[in-house]
Amino acid sequence: MFKGILIEKDDQYKASLQTIDESTLPEGDVSVAVSHSTLNYKDALAITGKAPVVRHFPMIPGIDLAGVVESSSSGRFKPGDKVLLNGFGVGETHCGGLAQKAVLKSDWLIPLPEAFSPAQAMAIGTAGYTAMLCVLALEKHGVTPDKGEILVTGANGGVGSFAIALLAKLGYTVVASTGRVNEADYLKKLGANDIIDRQSLSEPGKPLGKERWAGAVDSVGSHTLANVCAGIKYGGVAAACGLAQGMDFPATVAPFILRGVTLAGIDSVMRPLEDRIEAWDRLAALINHDMLSEISVEIGLSDVVSTAGELLKGNVRGRVVVDVNR
């Protein structure tokens, strides 16, 4: 038996902290004693039932986890190894990290980088890992710091916060778009050079706007992403990784065929192992550990359900780390 958040759907949809029997866990070749997980936007949707994230019931949510291998029938890992996981449908189709134990497929796990403790790795989590994938996409498409400003939308969220910090560390000039302009000091502390109100991007706009951004990291989607693409300079790149405003993309082909703009889709869920290791190696080299305390807050399992509701209301800044043993 172990403690965890369990989502059930009988007469009604319900998520609660429970003592869970190990028989609830699905099959896998590695058993992990989880020490830390996270509460992401997708987790909050799953816990509250605001979107059909969960595919099987009962389900333990949590798309991230870090912990220690308890047992393994895989040649990749042995008992005592420190590991982490991001994505692969965990918390959606396979029981996830918001519990004290997880049984997983070894192909989903990577070794915990020596630079990070489990709590620090989860302060980064899928948000930081996704932000790093976005930055790598900009680099691989030739967007260097000398090319001009980089726009980061959803700047107060986890992906946005990390994108700002990583880009600033690499020497880029970063403009942060946010609906909470009162958080300007926080964003500038992370490395943003300028702050704009998200309203300037969130309404229907023109097919082409003034060329301003050399590149962008967008976690918002919908009209925001359409306006971002309309304002990208010739040959620039928009890395799209989220849909906080919506899944639609009300744009035209004009930026892509008249300005050679690239729209780079960033998937963090099913990313190949080599890409994951590259991203985490870069994170280990770039992340300022002091920044992690600025960008994250830690809670216990008993706080997860209530915090999920606050996260969806936009009342949570940065990252939420979950110590599953408190």
CA distances from 122 to 36, 44, 296 (A): 7, 16, 9
- Cβ pair 44, 308 in contact under 8 A: yes
Mean pLDDT for the stretch of residues 108-124? 96
Tokens representing 270? Answer: 């099913």
Confidence of residue 25 (pLDDT cuts 50, 70, 90): very high
Give residue 262's pLDDT: 98
- Say how far apart CA 32 and CA 68 lie, in whole Å: 5
* Secondary structure letter of residue 288 according to DSSP: -
Would the pLDDT of 317 be above 80? no
Domains detected in the chain: 2-115+289-323 (3.90.180.10), 126-265 (3.40.50.720)
Convert the pLDDT of each residue in 84-101 to its tens digit: 999 999 999 999 999 999
Would the pLDDT of 111 be above 80? yes
pTM of the model: 0.92
Convert the pLDDT of each residue in 185-203 to its tens digit: 989 999 999 999 999 999 9
Give residue 289's pLDDT: 85
Convert the pLDDT of each residue in 132-183 to its tens digit: 999 999 999 999 999 999 999 999 888 998 999 999 999 999 999 998 888 8
Would the pLDDT of 318 be above 80? no
Mean pLDDT for the stretch of residues 305-317? 88
Beta-bridged to residue 29, according to DSSP, are: none
Give residue 188's pLDDT: 94
Convert the pLDDT of each residue in 27-60 to its tens digit: 999 999 999 999 998 999 999 999 889 989 999 9
Smallest Cα–Cα separation from 108: which of 145, 58, 72?
72
Give residue 189's pLDDT: 92
Convert the pLDDT of each residue in 230-275 to its tens digit: 999 999 999 999 998 999 999 999 999 999 999 999 999 999 999 9
- Cβ pair 286, 263 in contact under 8 A: no
Would the pLDDT of 112 be above 80? yes
- Say how far apart CA 294 and CA 321 lie, in whole Å: 12
Strand residues in 51-172 grouped as ranges (E): 64-72, 82-86, 101-104, 110-111, 150-152
